[in-house]
Amino acid sequence: MRVLLRVHGFVQGVGYRDYVRRMAEHYDVKGYVKNVEDGSVEVLAEASERQLSEFIKDIEVRTYHGPEVHKIERIESPAVVSTLTSFEVL
């Protein structure tokens, strides 16, 4: 399963992309995470439905002195033959 996520909140300049990468490695999620000009972060994630569910729960963080996710928009992507082999910070 593949999903495209748009993460809104205080998520740029606070180590959020690296945190997402670590969680992706933990859950064996393939894809990428990158900053978007509007201040949000985009995540393309590919894994089993169970892995994605846990991954998305874990990246919805709110910390006192760091990332603070206000909302995650989830866009289902059609099934495709995967060419993803890793998770990258772009």
Catalytic residues: 17, 35
Residue ranges with strand state E in the chain: 2-10, 30-35, 41-46, 68-77, 87-89
Q: Are 42 and 36 a contacting pair, CB within 8 Å?
A: yes
